[in-house]
Amino acid sequence: MEQKKISEGNAALKPPVEVRYQKELEALAALDTAPRPVNWKMSPKAVRTFILGSRQPLSWNGEEIIIRKKYLGNDALVERCIITLAGNRGLMLVGEPGTAKTMLSELLSAAISGNSTNTIQGTAGTTEDMIKYSWNYALLLAKGPVREALVPSPLYVGMEQGILTRFEEITRTPAEIQDSLISVLSDKVLNVPELGEEGLLFAKAGFNVIGTANTRDKGVNEMSSALKRRFNFETVMPVRDVAMEKEIIIHEVEALAAESKVSMPVEEDVAELLASTYHELREGVSSLGHRIDRPAAVMSTAEAVSVYFQTMMTAYYYGDSHMDIRCLVENLVGAVQKENGEDLEKLRSYFQTVVRDKGVREGGLWSSYYEARKYLR
């Protein structure tokens, strides 16, 4: 019993995709007979199946392996991303925050290279050393500039091993640092002048870069035209369908609850209410076609998932394991009132018009939701 507790305590908070879906990846790779690019773990067809799911389970190793749909969005976009990575141009996923760009890049990397953790995280403090290579200064002083003293970056590792390198939030990196990628993406060569004749690293087949960038955010830097030309851009749009947004909220909250050992079912009517709220505030139009003031805050599906899960955790640990609408409204305020003080007034206006009308027309949960407006403070 004690050993079990230790094992559970040491479990990764967020296992990488290749660990989380290990059986699916192994089954797909083992049964894959389609042509695949050099150094890819599986064919483009199998990569597509891994991300978009399969209607029929796979029979492998005496088991029925169900391949679930993991990316609930534009299927054609996923296909274009896979084909881009099979070519010689990088892939840049752009879109508003919370549109699953990171998740899609992780799924692609895990399926193609078997490694979703070879990642550069872009920040205002990212330097060229973090993108290319740096040195272990103790070894450098002891042995001079030798390969043993070199500390490879994720980009260096990607080129050396022929795997994908993920560059998260690339536009948060200063523009002059971003441009250090240009020569690598053009020539697929990284020069380490300190190593002399041995300082040229030629990228192996299978190497490529997946970048992500937010279009609506503070603290971002414009990419140079030269760097843009090295990427194929794919715009990941926010979810436009309330039913799909509800499905995403349920799917993601169930996964978070399982990881956190929270044994509480997801209430579909609450998920639908939250999906409708976020959809209408994001679009600036109610389901009846009335105009709504859009908050300055990003009303992403990821934020909706966070609001639901936070309310679920409160109900599980403090309540009776039933979603509390009052707590949901309080968490919604925390999510909306981030960028601008006026956003709270816009949320109040939404409750006084749209939520009130739905409460009168539909009753039930919407009425309780409207009654909880007093907690909008």
Extents of the domains making up the chain:
2-235, 242-375
Q: Are 206 and 252 in contact (CB under 8 A)?
A: no
| Residues of the chain scoring pLDDT < 70 | 1-10
pLDDT of residue 10: 63
pLDDT of residue 3: 42
95 contact partners, CB below 8 Å, separation of at least 6: 101, 214, 215, 235, 236, 237, 238
Ramachandran bin of 363, using left for φ above 0, alpha for ψ from -120 to 50, beta for the remaining angles: left
CA triple 146-152-154, angle to 5 deg: 165
pLDDT of residue 353: 92
Q: Are 332 and 347 in contact (CB under 8 A)?
A: yes
pLDDT of residue 287: 83
pLDDT of residue 9: 56
Q: Are 154 and 198 in contact (CB under 8 A)?
A: no
pLDDT of residue 14: 82
Residue 341, class by beta-carbon neighbours within 10 Å (0-12 exposed, 13-18 middle, 19+ buried)?
A: exposed
pLDDT of residue 90: 95
Q: Which CATH class is domain 2-235?
A: alpha beta
pLDDT of residue 216: 74
- Buried residues in 139-164 as b, exposed as e (16+ CB within 10 A): ebeeeebeeebbebbbbbebbebbbb
pLDDT of residue 313: 95
CA nearest neighbour of 94 among 173, 170, 185: 170
CA nearest neighbour of 299 among 343, 330, 342, 329: 343
pLDDT of residue 7: 47
61 contact partners, CB below 8 Å, separation of at least 6: 27
Q: What's the chain's length in residues?
A: 377
pLDDT of residue 6: 40
